[in-house]
Amino acid sequence: MKNRLNKFLFDFSVLSIFRRGSKNIFIFFVFTLLIFLLSSILFISNSIKSELDITINSLPDITVQRLQAGRAINMPLSRVNRLLAIDGVKAVIPRVWGYYYFANAGVNFSVVGIDQFEDQYRDLYTKLCDKFNFDRLKIDSGMLIGSGIDKILKNNFYQGYFNFVKPDGSLIKVKIDGIFNGDTKLESSDIIVMPSKKVREIFGMKPDEAVDFVIKIANPSEIPNIASKITQLYPDSRVITKEDLKISYQNLFDYKGGLFLALFVISAFTFFMIIYDKASGVSSDEKREIGILKAVGWTIDDILKEKFYEAFIISFVSFITALCLSIFYVYFLNAPLLKNIFIGYSSLKPEFDLPFCFDFQTFSIIFFLTVPIYIAATIIPSWRVASMDADEVMR
Amino acid sequence: MIELRNVTKEFKVGANDKVVALKNINLRVKKGEIVLLKGPSGSGKSTILSLIAALNKPTSGEVIVDGKRVSKLADNFTSLFRRENIGFIFQRYNLIPTLSARENVIVPLIPSNPDSDWLEDRLKELFQNFSLESKMDVIVKNLSGGEQQRVAIARALINNPSIIIADEPTANLDKKLSLEFIEILKKLKNGHNSIIIASHDPLFFDLDFIDRQIDIHNGEII
Amino acid sequence: MLLTPEIITILALDFIFLFFGIIAFFISIKIVKFWNLNSTSNLQYKLEKQSFLVATIIKYIFIVKLPLFLFFIFTADKLSDVITGAMCGAGVVNSVSFGSAMFFYKILNLYIFGFWLVLHHFDLKNENQPYTKYKFWLYIVGFIFLLIEIYLEIDFFTSLDVSKLVSCCGTLFSAASTSSFSFIFTINKLYFVYLFYAVFTLLILSYILKNSWMILGLNIVYVFISIISLIIFFGTYIYQLPTHHCPFCMLQKDYDYIGYVLYITLYIGTFYGVSGAIMSILEKNKEKFYYNVSIVFNIIYALIVSAYPITYYIKNGVWL
Ligand SMILES: Nc1ncnc2c1ncn2[C@@H]1O[C@H](COP(=O)(O)OP(=O)(O)O)[C@@H](O)[C@H]1O
Ligand SMILES: [Mg+2]
């Protein structure tokens, strides 16, 4: 079987595409748009996923919340010691933090309290403690903010400080002592760090309470075991392990991505019908041309091959064009419009850029969902054309 | 050698009507022979040609070319048969109007993926023979009638066919161009090719290089 | 059921295969029933044309299926991140009881559809089309296998469960496993090595003798012994771990994707061997081109797998 690429047939196919330009341009545009949508959706979801993966990996092994009537309420600090007594627990860190809604910009900040003498539950805070002079923060009663937040505050004419509104309505002015860059863009545009005492003051929390506890565990395989012990000890607690979070995030994303894909598949099949229809409508000129080809010695197979080349060239060029466009749209323009559909919390969280993330897997998904489907749509129309009678030329 | 044995061809028209285009035709054309089929319009000349080129199948009877029963071949093999044996010059030329002269001429060779150098030489030779060198890259619909016909001849000859078939070759040409065509035809006679011409143009009637003239009337040889 | 983009992709293509496969199936049935080259009837004329539609459909399915198979393995590998306990695709595929059956049909279909195209090629070489009925019978069988494969695949994806704990390949491919092939781990692994080289030597001998039946039989045996010896012996040198017997992990990046190279060479070598041998028998003519491709790829496979233990020995002075 010799199957070397037939350059002449290829040239002929390219010419055929151009000779029937208006029909093919229509197909090209619709198909490119479709692939563009698909790849943009996949790129956005991949980016957010990889961003979340970093976030989740930096999460604590176990987080314990206290529930009352199904809602999380503050944890009394008195529980720390009994939790520490469980075998395998390395550290229990009470967390003081909350979301602060900044109405002027319409965004939520995560305000996080840390204490230097404590074990830090997040790499970022350890780094911050190393980098900034924490004592000064205390004396100044100042705070550290992410670079993204700095931008937001500057846009709202805050220079070097910010006024928080306490629950009782009074203002509390906090100085900005430093600006940091997080590991992820999400981090930098979301987090404000200050001493725990200050956070309690801003949110009006009691000094003997924390929002929740973070538990560090020596041996990761013990996690499920210890989690169940905690629930036994304090039946009103909700225990969240890192693994739980990871899987539920993954599922949420696959689910959302899947929903969009299902929609996509429906539109792809609609497109399939359009192509089928377009390819089926053969003009009398085209009919005559096929007759000529067969009369001068082209077999059914040769004509099918020519039609395949045409379909492949159109779909592959569309594929590459759409891919380039959507890389530009997602990573350079930061996916306006589409991104918001995807991240449910985007209106609450501050803006962040989508990190570049492109792998072979995504590339193959986009390819398999588009090019073979297009070619499939042309099979029957091409065959119809190819099996027309050669005596067309005698009429 | 080309042989038609008891060939009858009927065409269906409408639901249950039919036209008998050929009635019990028996015909032999030897290798190297030049044959003229003549007869009024509608007598069945084109139908005979299309049967020899396996563009059509007889309703009954057989068409045998070089020992091969072409009337029995499946569609796929009729194409291969034409590719290897037949050069057909159609009445309406049947060029692809939106391709250039050169692209039209190579069309029959495309499926066999020829060697580029060989093809270039062959093209040069053909275009020179038919004084078309300057028209190589002109889109054929912009060529004159005579030029279009020469492109069609070049296309018919590109695969070195052993059988050359021309259907009413002078029907669309003026006298001068018709005579030019006859000159070309004369040159094609070389003892290896069989040439079959269908025409009712009197210009062909007393040419000495034509070996045989066959009269067709109402689908029968007389 | 998991609805990842990968799974949707595979299912969408399955749907297309099914759609076209059914069309081709009905045409094939008509052809095996009514095909008669001597007839000049309208039906025969129609069938001749429709046979090209079937051929186009089969070409399409085969050409898309080849890379899709690799994509499937890739997907199974990726799912192992989500499914508890699975380290690689093996755990994922075996998380359902019919996982290996599904895999078997996938591979079998690649051989059948590929061979169909070879038969088609030879059929169209001769004006009498001597293999037409055979090839459409073959497709009818192939289509039934395709149905089984698609059915198992859909069942597989719908029964995947993230919360279910599955075995990792370490336990699947060991004597402790309850699977049907676990008994082979109790046999001395050197027997399989001897057997592999014995079959390989015979295979080369059969090419020299140009005995088509021998080539056919030995290529089939070669597929099986290659995979078994890869799991039992050669694989352990790829992983450099005497206890790790997994045919999947070697597809991962940690082992330079060597698994893909191995499986693809093995497929090409044996595919050309088997199809060349069958065609030689049918055509009564030695299909040299097929044999040459087959020899080259079968030798490449043997060289690559042998290189692993040998370099290990040269480096470390001991066998695993
Ligand atoms: N495709 C066709 N369908 C119906 N009738 C046809 C067809 N082709 C030719 N005929 C009829 O067959 C007869 C012979 O035609 P033709 O061979 O073209 O004659 P000629 O070439 O001698 O003018 C005419 O009566 C014509 O009408
Ligand atoms: Mg006529």
User: Mean pLDDT, chain C, as a whole number?
Assistant: 86
Q: Any CB–CB contact under 8 A between A50 and chain C?
A: no
Domain boundary among C165, C190, C221: C165
Contacts of B123 in chain A (CB under 8 A): none
Report yes or no: C189 and C175 within 8 Å, Cβ to Cβ. Answer: no
Put simply, the chain A residues between 250 and 309 with a CB less than 8 A from any chain B CB are 288-289, 291-302
Q: State the ligand closest to the CA atom of B41.
A: 1
Q: Any CB–CB contact under 8 A between A72 and chain C?
A: no
Worst-scoring range by mean pLDDT, B131-140, C23-32, C69-78, C290-299? Answer: C69-78
Q: What is the pLDDT of residues B141-167, one digit of tens each?
A: 999 888 999 999 999 999 889 999 999
Q: What is the pLDDT of residues A176-206, one digit of tens each?
A: 888 888 777 667 777 888 888 888 888 888 8
Tell me which chain C residue has its CA closest to the CA of residue B60: C40
- Name the residue at shortest CA distance from atom 21 of ligand 1: B46
Worst-scoring range by mean pLDDT, A74-88, A303-317, A342-356, B38-52? Answer: A342-356
**Position A175 confidence tier, pLDDT thresholds 50, 70, 90:** confident
As a whole number of angstroms, the distance between CA B20 and CA A187 comes to 87
Please report, for residues A146, A183, A198, A268, the alpha-carbon distance to residue A127 in angstroms, rounded to integers and kept in the order given: 13, 11, 20, 48
Contacts of A278 (CB under 8 A, 6+ apart): A23, A26, A27
Worst-scoring range by mean pLDDT, A317-321, B214-218, C100-104, C117-121? Answer: C100-104
Atom from ligand 1 closest to the CA of residue B50: 17
Q: Which of A292, A297, A302 sits opposite B94 (nearest CB)?
A: A292
**What pLDDT sits at residue A182?**
75
- Name the residue at shortest CA distance from atom 26 of ligand 1: B42
**Position C179 confidence tier, pLDDT thresholds 50, 70, 90:** low
**What pLDDT sits at residue B23?**
92
CA distance A295 to chain B (A): 7
Together in a domain, C161 and C171? no
As a whole number of angstroms, the distance between CA A71 and CA C181 comes to 52
Pocket residues for ligand 1 (CB within 6 Å)? A 395; B 11, 13, 19, 21, 39, 41-47
CA distance B181 to chain C (A): 37
Report yes or no: C266 and C108 within 8 Å, Cβ to Cβ. Answer: no
CA distance B20 to chain C (A): 18
Where in chain B are the domains?
Answer: 2-221
**What pLDDT sits at residue C64?**
94
Interface of B with C (CB under 8 A): 57, 68, 72-77
Q: What is the pLDDT of residues A40-96, one digit of tens each?
A: 888 887 887 777 777 777 777 888 888 888 788 888 888 888 888 888 888 888 888
C5·A254 Cβ contact <8 A:
yes
Atom from ligand 1 closest to the CA of residue B44: 17
Q: Does domain B2-221 have CATH number 3.40.50.300?
A: yes
Report yes or no: C67 and C119 within 8 Å, Cβ to Cβ. Answer: no
C38·B72 Cβ contact <8 A:
yes
Q: How far is the CA of A386 from the centre of ligand 2 (A)?
A: 25
**pLDDT reading at A361 higher than 80:** yes
Domain boundary among C132, C148, C165: C165
Which residues sit opposite A71 in a β-bridge?
A: A68
CA distance B169 to chain C (A): 32
Report yes or no: B54 and A269 within 8 Å, Cβ to Cβ. Answer: no
Atom from ligand 1 closest to the CA of residue B168: 21
**Position C255 confidence tier, pLDDT thresholds 50, 70, 90:** confident
**Position A143 confidence tier, pLDDT thresholds 50, 70, 90:** confident
Q: What is the pLDDT of residues B96-113, one digit of tens each?
A: 999 999 999 999 999 999
ipTM: 0.93
Reading the block at residue C212, the tokens are: 């088509």
As a whole number of angstroms, the distance between CA A268 and CA C15 comes to 13
The phi and psi torsions of C85 (rounded to 5 degrees) equal: 95, -25
**What pLDDT sits at residue C317?**
80
Degrees, nearest 5: CA angle B35-B159-B209: 25
**What pLDDT sits at residue A2?**
47
Total structural domains within chain C: 2
User: Mean pLDDT, chain A, as a whole number?
Assistant: 81
User: How many CB pairs below 8 A link A and B?
Assistant: 84
Residue closest to A385 by CA, chosen among A312, A280, A240, A244: A280
Reading the block at residue B215, the tokens are: 């009269």
Where in chain A are the domains?
Answer: 7-54+249-394, 75-210
User: How many CB pairs below 8 A link B and C?
Assistant: 16
Please report, for residues A206, B190, C222, the alpha-carbon distance to residue B27 in angstroms, rounded to integers and kept in the order given: 114, 22, 60
Which residues sit opposite A113 in a β-bridge?
A: A96, A194
If you average pLDDT over residues A98-126, what whole number do you get? 78
Together in a domain, C298 and C196? yes
Together in a domain, C145 and C80? yes
Q: How far is the CA of A389 from the centre of ligand 2 (A)?
A: 18
As a whole number of angstroms, the distance between CA A269 and CA C8 comes to 13
**What pLDDT sits at residue A349?**
46
**What pLDDT sits at residue C166?**
64
Atom from ligand 1 closest to the CA of residue A395: 1
If you average pLDDT over residues A225-253, what whole number do you get? 79
**What pLDDT sits at residue B222?**
84
Reading the block at residue B81, the tokens are: 């048969």
**Position A348 confidence tier, pLDDT thresholds 50, 70, 90:** very low
Going A12 to A14 to A18 to A23, the CA torsion angle's sign is positive
**Is this structure's pTM higher than 0.90?**
no
Q: What is the pLDDT of residues B111-136, one digit of tens each?
A: 999 888 999 999 998 898 888 889 88
C127·B73 Cβ contact <8 A:
yes
**pLDDT reading at B45 higher than 70:** yes
DSSP secondary-structure letter at C177? Answer: -
Range of the domain at C316: 167-320
Cα A380 from chain centroid (whole Å) = 38
Q: State the ligand closest to the CA atom of B21.
A: 1
* Three-class HEC string of chain A: CCCCCCHHHHHHHHHHHHHCHHHHHHHHHHHHHHHHHHHHHHHHHHHHHHHHHHHHHCCCCEEEEEEECCEEECEEHHHHHHHHCCCCEEEEEEEEEEEEEECCCCEEEEEEEECCCCCCCCHHHHHHHHHCCHHHHHHHCEEEEEHHHHHHHHHCCCCCEEEEECCCCCEEEEEEEEEECCCCHHHHCCEEEEEHHHHHHHHCCCCCEECEEEEEECCHHHHHHHHHHHHHHCCCEEEEEHHHHHHHHHHHHHHHHHHHHHHHHHHHHHHHHHHHHHHHCCCHHHHHHHHHHHHCCCCHHHHHHHHHHHHHHHHHHHHHHHHHHHHHHHHHCCCCCHHHHHCHHHHCCCCCCCCCCCCHHHHHHHHHHHHHHHHHHHHHHHHHHHCCCHHHHHC
**pLDDT reading at A360 higher than 90:** no
Q: What is the pLDDT of residues A152-168, one digit of tens each?
A: 888 888 888 888 888 88
Q: How far is the CA of B63 from the centre of ligand 1 (A)?
A: 18
Report yes or no: A190 and A349 within 8 Å, Cβ to Cβ. Answer: yes
Give rounded-to-5 percent helix, strand, coil for chain B: 40, 30, 35
**What pLDDT sits at residue A345?**
43
Together in a domain, C28 and C145? yes
**What pLDDT sits at residue C174?**
64
**What pLDDT sits at residue C63?**
93
Report yes or no: A107 and A348 within 8 Å, Cβ to Cβ. Answer: yes
**What pLDDT sits at residue C111?**
94
Interface of C with A (CB under 8 A): 2-6, 8-9, 12-13, 16, 20, 49, 52-53, 55-57, 60, 64, 67-68, 71, 74, 78, 82, 118, 121, 124, 162, 289
Q: How many residues does chain C have?
A: 320
Cα A170 from chain centroid (whole Å) = 39
**What pLDDT sits at residue B206?**
84
Together in a domain, C49 and C197? no
- Name the residue at shortest CA distance from atom 6 of ligand 1: B11
Percentage, residues of chain A above pLDDT 90: 14
Half-sphere exposure of residue C297: CA atoms within 13 angstroms, side-chain side: 24
**pLDDT reading at A256 higher than 70:** no
- Name the residue at shortest CA distance from atom 18 of ligand 1: B46
Which residues sit opposite B195 in a β-bridge?
A: B34, B164
If you average pLDDT over residues A213-218, what whole number do you get? 85
Higher pLDDT, B4 or A144: B4
Q: State the ligand closest to the CA atom of B23.
A: 1
Interface test with A, best of C1, C8, C74 (most A CBs within 10 A): C8
